[in-house]
Structure 1
């Protein structure tokens, strides 16, 4: 049985913030003709929006609710709050609903509801991705910590692999959040007597509030610049979405004064330090390029992007941060090496290679 979608009630809202409107311009896209038409259309509506109007960001306080999977929230009757559906598939929603209903059965729940005070939901679809954490989940913690300091909040986060877990823990600590006040949860349904939900801060692919920059700015203030002005960001250890003959490309970057880095192998403070002072950044589109949010306004960013990858995430970051942003769409080569069809090797033409490092 499909769960009934319900909306957060006005009575549940305890905080409303104004998210400022902002102007946006169509990105500079090289080799646009390589983008398949359905993929292009999926991005064009956002790219062609000249101004995103101001909107409300709300924090709602809910009683006796269940959290399952990647941040889906159900009320005591098993109805699903539609505001917590974030790119979840119908199958994932059905699985979460069934698990919650089973946990509601007599003796179905292993533990009683959490009653130790208010908990902020910092868990949504994409829990295993550094970029989603940094731009979509961590900002909720920063916002609530800043505006609701007297509530004594705890923070519900996802159970993730060790390297990402370290970045999550580091970022929370840098925001002054005691890790003892975090609750790490897997997909198993959990009941909370008092849960806070932030709504309206981001819609992955469709909107990103300027308010998300507050968390990134707070992190930047904690770290001194590493003094690297030019960065070439590689994904060598990832196994997918790598440039064909990338070693040659990296060597060429070094001759042009670029420092070759793989942020995923570094601690969060080191990543922030590298990007904080960078004025020229070239890299393959992926989670590590989320670090452009730490770069100063005006920095030039070149994102090497699979032709068939539908993505506006980095364009939103660049727009909000005031970066000089270019995507070079690359032909895809060879088998799919990851989860998505764009997780192939990339072919960068000699012409494009020669010009991306030119001032």
Structure 2
């Protein structure tokens, strides 16, 4: 249930990404690691530690010059140290979709290493997921801090941002679900219809949400706000979801915790075609549908922050079909 104009773009993206699904880990000796995950040795930035290769000029300029200042750089540990985050990993989606698969790779070779975390205080979802993947020793790099590591192990992010190796996605999901297994009630598995609202967040709102809610209420959807839940509550909610509807954004990341065979529906602007959540859903066997939406903000608003407007008729068409089989 993906419109043709989206399907063509999705296919082009996946055709480009699949050949780059390499799984590799760099081992680096005697390097410095900055608070945003950037690796430096002498006067050079290690480009694979950056979110994108073209960012080398940005980090090789003023940032690199600042590293020449006289200041203490503590030796972190004599044993192996793992790094799987970069300067984009403070975002929930990037942590779950990109860092965790890298940690899944890391634990195959260095399950007992010290794992570096972004500071100043990692949120609970970071701590829960690191523990879920079996890492017990961590070090949080404070903002502005630089640490020296004699033996650094850094998994490579497979493919482009947001596009995941299915086997690693499944491995991450299984680890997180096992971590929270005592909080999950099997009798409630895949029994609820959930709509997650973004209208209490800072941007990317659904401008005509009341009209959409009128449709969803007829199909017994309940509205939730993930920002009001703990990470454990979010995992449990998605475990209990038979049908999940959301707006493109970090909220959709929780598709990862749905049960295979359930249904995820994404409302996505026609001006910003992004198949990240189709990639995630298909990796774990969740059925995916898309409701094309219109731009709901002025054209000068950057697409990643823009509001959307969705036709309630389209919502009803998709929801009625999905709920008829879910």
TM-score, normalized by length of structure 1? Answer: 0.76
Distance in 1, Cα, partners of 2:280 & 2:219? 26
Q: Is the 8 A contact 1:337 1:344 kept in 2?
A: no
Distance in 1, Cα, partners of 2:85 & 2:114? 13
Total equivalences in the alignment? 315
Q: Is the 8 A contact 2:205 2:306 kept in 1?
A: yes
Deviations 1:149-179 (A, max 9, x none): 3xx311112126x7x712112222333433x
Distance in 2, Cα, partners of 1:306 & 1:55? 27
1:94 aligns with 2:58: yes
- For structure 2, the residue ranges without an aligned partner over 5 or more in a row are none
- Aligned partner (choices 61, 81, 106) of residue 144 of structure 1: 106
Partner of 1:130: 92
Partner of 2:29: 63
Partner of 2:3: 30
How far has the Cα of 1:331 moved from its partner?
A: 0.7
Distance in 2, Cα, partners of 1:192 & 1:346? 45
Partner of 1:168: 126
Distance in 2, Cα, partners of 1:30 & 1:54? 26
Q: Is the 8 A contact 2:98 2:157 kept in 1?
A: no
Distance in 1, Cα, partners of 2:264 & 2:19? 25
Greater share of residues in strand: 1
Identify if the C-alpha distance between structure 1 residues 336 and 117 changes in structure 2 by more than 3 Å, giving closer, same or farther: farther
Identify if the C-alpha distance between structure 1 residues 293 and 319 changes in structure 2 by more than 3 Å, giving closer, same or farther: same
Identify if the C-alpha distance between structure 1 residues 204 and 59 changes in structure 2 by more than 3 Å, giving closer, same or farther: same
Secondary structure (helix, strand or coil) at the match of 2:2 reads strand
How far has the Cα of 1:80 moved from its partner?
A: 2.9
1:1-359 correspondence to structure 2 within 5 Å: 28-30=1-3, 32=5, 43-47=10-14, 52=18, 56-68=22-34, 70-75=36-41, 77-87=42-52, 90=55, 93-95=57-59, 97-105=61-69, 108-149=70-111, 152-159=112-119, 165-178=123-136, 181-186=138-143, 188-205=145-162, 208-221=165-178, 222-223=180-181, 224-225=184-185, 227=189, 228-335=191-298, 340-358=302-320, 359=324
Deviations 1:224-243 (A, max 9, x none): 14544321111122132111
Distance in 1, Cα, partners of 2:103 & 2:14? 29
Deviations 1:61-80 (A, max 9, x none): 211112236322222x3223
Distance in 2, Cα, partners of 1:337 & 1:238? 20
Distance in 1, Cα, partners of 2:106 & 2:135? 11
Q: Is the 8 A contact 2:97 2:164 kept in 1?
A: no
